[in-house]
Amino acid sequence: MIRVDGLVHRYGDTVAVDDVDLAIDDGECVIVAGANGSGKTTLVRHFNGLLDPDEGSVSVNDRSVTDHLVAARTAVAMVFQHPEDQLVAATVGADVAFGPENLGLDRDEIDRRVRESLAAVNLDGREDERVDSLSGGEVERLAIAGALAMRPDHLVLDEPFTGLDEPARRSVLARLRDLRAEGTSLVVVTHDLRDVAELADRVVVLADGDVALDAAPDEAADRLPDLDVRPPC
């Protein structure tokens, strides 16, 4: 479980996250939506300790993120909005292998995870290609493969469908559906629910850094336009 209690995050005078309480159960799929600047990215960056709370606390699997940073980063994998910033190696295979290598896994297991993760995002067989030769959508899929290779308990994706063409989008959605069925919790940050509403158990909408709505997708649909979120078609 990811648990957020009274979380406040400030950037100077800007209160980006304003006293948020939230719990995401194991195996749940939660959409975090809201207008630009409502605090979505800031909130989820606390889930694996990329930011420190100004007030309040975050725990993952019952352990404080601040006190158990390595455990949080092993349990929660993140894919960010600008995945090109997340690349760490020169080739596709080495990039996906980086996380599992840091977990200290043996070579066979690392190779297996690299193969499976690349296949999950339709990049199979491209281990030896240079990352700087990939298109924007391919880089995004590579970043998702890197997160999948960690076999995290919780996967957080910040605007994962931006820049993906239709086949790539379908393949990522299918993989997310499988992950959810396997018990991985998913947190998908978006301001447009059309892509992921069918997968979600809950929609959490932020407005001005606080939770303005927390409901099942069909219950939430009517209120979404008032909160500057495009409802699913």
Ligand X SMILES: Nc1ncnc2c1ncn2[C@@H]1O[C@H](COP(=O)(O)OP(=O)(O)OP(=O)(O)O)[C@@H](O)[C@H]1O
Given the rule CB under 6 A, which residues bind ligand X?
11, 14, 16, 34, 36-42, 191
Helix then strand then coil, in percent of the chain rounded to 5, is: 40, 30, 35
Tokens of 156: 């957080």
Beta carbon nearer to ligand X, 123 or 207: 207
Beta carbon nearer to ligand X, 129 or 228: 228
At 119 the three-state DSSP class reads helix
At 40 the three-state DSSP class reads helix
Query: Least distance from C-beta 24 to ligand X, angstroms?
Result: 17
Query: Least distance from C-beta 1 to ligand X, angstroms?
Result: 22
Beta carbon nearer to ligand X, 96 or 197: 197
Beta carbon nearer to ligand X, 96 or 207: 207
54 DSSP assignment: S
Question: Could you tell me which of 172, 159, 185 has the C-alpha nearest to residue 29?
Answer: 185
Beta carbon nearer to ligand X, 27 or 231: 231
Query: Least distance from C-beta 117 to ligand X, angstroms?
Result: 26
Question: Could you tell me which of 8, 44, 4 has the C-alpha nearest to residue 160?
Answer: 44
Measured between alpha carbons, how far is 66 from 53 in angstroms, rounded to an integer?
A: 9
Rounded alpha-carbon distances, angstroms, from residue 92 to 57, 98, 131, 154, 210: 36, 10, 6, 23, 38
Query: Least distance from C-beta 184 to ligand X, angstroms?
Result: 22
Measured between alpha carbons, how far is 99 from 29 in angstroms, rounded to an integer?
A: 23
Beta carbon nearer to ligand X, 15 or 173: 15
Query: Least distance from C-beta 161 to ligand X, angstroms?
Result: 14
> Which residue blocks in the chain are alpha helix, DSSP H?
40-45, 69-75, 92-102, 107-120, 136-148, 166-182, 217-220
Query: Least distance from C-beta 229 to ligand X, angstroms?
Result: 11
